[in-house]
Amino acid sequence: MKRRLDAAILGALATGTLVACTGEMGDASGGATSGGTPVTVGNGSGSGNGSGSGNGAGAGGATGPATGSGAATSSGDATSGAGASGGGGSGPSGSTGAGGSVDVPVAAGEWYEAPNSHMEDVKHNVNGPNMWDVSCVISCWSGGGYDTKRDRLIVWGGGHGQYSGNEVYVFSMKTMSWSRLDDPSNPPGVDVPYAPDGRPTSRHSYNYLQYLPAIDRFCTFGGAGFYWGGQTGTDNVDCFDFDTNQWDTDVSTTPSGVNGYSFSAVDASTGFAYQHGPGGSGKLARYNPVSATWTTLNGSTYIASGYTATAAFDPKRQKMVEIGDGITVWDIDPSSNTVVATNPQTSGDNSIEMGGAIGLDYDPVTETFIAWDGGQTIHSLNVDTMTWTTYAPSGANPGPANGNNTYGRFRYVPSANVFVVVNESNQNVFVYRHTPDLSAPQWYLDMIAN
């Protein structure tokens, strides 16, 4: 079923006003099948002495302190050196480091459900205004990113009148467990870019969240739907530093036409990020994270809303693909300031194109785009032939996609050649393996490493 833009959103897009959004999500289905034998990836482990504010000990990586008070909730992971909270302490995780490996017991063509993997199990105990419903971190039009250095899915969001918390959550693929990296600002920011403590205000994060390997930061490219009113946003780029668990704020400013209900993707071959603004006046711009500079590109065409869009990038063919109320493909030359945008006619079961805020990422093994919009069904787009193939995996069932969004919470994991998705704060995390390979191909691993 196609998502519907309500009248308020349509009016806002026409006037340029930033507002929060509502909508509904359907799911897709198909009949093709795939399969394989169960495989696991890696058996390494990290070591370290990361500590929490109770008596927990981290399982790997560099050590780092964790502070806080209240009931024990935070959990450590094999890469963060984060202490699991113990005793009466409930601190956020300490500084990050490398260590361990990913082990996912799932066969090709199957889904796996990670047991006891509810994000809300590590929620904070801060008693601030409108901070009780952490489900909004995921369900209120919120996206995410994937930290390829530490193998963690990153989730951050909230905003509008639903949730004021601005804390960062990560799911470790090495331990299949959640950690909360900080506590929410209290008092929170209200209709301004930053809270009184200097951290970014809670917001709807849509598809403008990305992890940037070139600078080892998790960044938000502007923002919309601020807490409380939802009518405010910012052009500022803010980036989270995993070594300090602090935000680097206002490191850059998105160009005109690039912010709002935007969508973004990262080119693994160059480290550049690309973001497109909503509607007919939206523009495509390239972000160099090393120099923190933007370049607005010529030749883009995009007429849909933006807030229903999810994008991903093929680094081999230099194509950025957006799905949501249709399909748009940009052919990009990283040495040029001009792009070619098309709305191609695709074959096969292309019903996924009329979804909204779906999960979408690039698969370097098959060199296709993998899309998900609920249930077990997987869709694959070959951009050489513009053909969709539908798969019906077996195993666990992730259930319906979140009623508002998936965006960047469906991500490819290069170290294990799987896809990971989280739907709700009180549901388990799910992992899908498309092909039997134990990791991404070496050419792709080299890209993200360099």
**Cα distance between the two ends of the chain:** 41
**Would you call 290 exposed, middle or buried from its count of C-beta atoms within 10 A (0-12, 13-18, 19+)?**
exposed
Query: What one-letter code names the amino acid at 206?
Result: Y
On whether the CB atoms of residues 386 and 99 are closer than 8 A, the answer is no
Which residues are CB-neighbours of 225 under 8 A, at least 6 positions away?
A: 18, 19, 20, 21, 140, 141, 159, 160, 203, 204, 233
* pLDDT by 10s per residue, the chain, length 450: 333 223 333 233 333 333 333 333 333 333 333 433 333 333 333 333 333 333 333 333 333 333 333 333 333 333 333 333 333 333 444 333 333 589 899 999 999 999 999 999 999 999 999 999 999 999 999 999 999 999 999 999 999 999 999 999 999 999 999 999 999 999 999 999 999 999 999 999 999 999 999 999 999 999 888 999 988 899 999 999 999 999 999 999 999 989 888 999 999 999 999 999 987 778 999 999 999 999 999 988 776 667 899 999 999 999 999 998 899 999 999 889 999 999 999 999 999 999 989 999 999 999 999 999 999 999 999 999 999 999 999 999 999 999 999 999 999 999 999 999 999 999 999 999 999 999 999 999 999 988
Asked if 184 contacts 164 with a C-beta cutoff of 8 angstroms, the reply is: yes
DSSP one-letter string for 420-440: EE---TTS--EEEESSS-SS-
Cis check for the bond before 187: say yes or no (omega within 30 of 0): yes
C-alpha 205/C-alpha 278 separation (Å) is 14
Euclidean distance between CA atoms 167 and 125, whole angstroms: 12
Please tell me the distance from the alpha carbon of residue 329 to that of residue 258, in angstroms, as a whole number.
17
Distance CA(112)–CA(276), nearest Å, equals 33
Can the peptide bond before residue 228 be classed as cis, meaning omega within 30 degrees of 0? yes
- Is 51 within 8 Å of 37 (Cβ atoms)? no
* Structure confidence at residue 231 (pLDDT): 86
Contact partners, residue 393, CB within 8 Å, separation at least 6: 33, 34, 109, 110, 111, 376, 377, 378, 432
Which residue in 321, 310, 325, 409 sits closest to 357, CA to CA?
310
Which residues are within 8 A (CB) of 264 and not within 5 positions of it... i.e. 6 or more apart? 207, 208, 209, 210, 221, 273, 274, 275, 276, 311
Report yes or no: 9 and 305 within 8 Å, Cβ to Cβ: yes
CB 107 within 8 A of CB 39: yes
Q: Measure the CA–CA gap between 26 and 352, rounded to whole angstroms.
A: 10
Phi-psi region of 406 (alpha: psi -120 to 50; beta: other; left: phi over 0): alpha
Quickly count: other Cβ atoms within 10 Å of residue 394's Cβ.
13
Residue 412: predicted pLDDT: 98
In the structure encoding, which two tokens stand for residue 266, read together? 């990262």
Which whole-number Å values give the CA distances from 31 to 34, 254, 348, in the listed order? 10, 42, 12
Distance from C-alpha of 139 to C-alpha of 132, rounded to nearest angstrom: 14
Exposed (0-12), middle (13-18) or buried (19+): which is 435, by Cβ within 10 Å?
Answer: middle
pLDDT at 278: 84
Ordered DSSP codes for 118-187: -GGGG------TT-S-TTHHHHTT--EEEETTTTEEEE---BTTTB-----EEEETTTTEEEE-SPPPSS
> Please, are residues 111 and 393 in contact by the beta-carbon 8 Å criterion?
yes
Say if pTM beats, i.e. exceeds, 0.85: no
